[in-house]
Amino acid sequence: MTSADTAFCRERNLPTRSPWLTYRMAMAELIPMPTKSAPTPEPLWRELVGERLRHLRHERGERLTDTAERAGVSPQYLSEVERGLKEPSSEMVAAIAGALDQSLLDLAAGVVEDLRDRSRATAEPARRTPFALSA
């Protein structure tokens, strides 16, 4: 909003908008401008593993604290793994999978199945996005 779009209302000591600016704002709310949708990025492995672990835990009807205790990790850490925020080591993944009576092979096969189901559900395949790795 520019100073040309705003006038000063002396009676109320408040700024007022010009009718043209009010009209433009109202029309912008009524008629959304089309936007180019960004391609869906390919999901990260840690996100897929986390989703699968959470699914397995919910399938068993377990609380986060129960599974975390059996896996030997904190509930906060398990929560972050399930949300895809942490990149767990293979030892941690094996411990959590073991607490859910799953082998690494079972877990990986489940993740692959979930990924296939996801790609079938979308019309276009997920696009690979460039990643910059730093040491």
Q: Is the pLDDT of residue 5 over 50?
A: no
Q: In the prediction, which pLDDT does 105 show?
A: 96
Using 50, 70 and 90 to split pLDDT, how confident is the model at 21?
low
Q: What sign for the dihedral angle of Cα 74, 75, 80, 83?
A: positive
Q: In the prediction, which pLDDT does 121 show?
A: 77
CATH 3.40.50.300 fits 45-119, yes or no: no
Q: What is the pTM of this model?
A: 0.63
The CA-based dihedral angle spanning residues 72, 75, 81, 83, taken in that order and rounded to the nearest 10 degrees? 160
**What is the domain partition of the chain in residue ranges?**
45-119
Number of neighbouring beta carbons within 10 Å of residue 9: 10
Q: In the prediction, which pLDDT does 67 show?
A: 98
Least confident of 35-39, 70-74, 80-84: 35-39
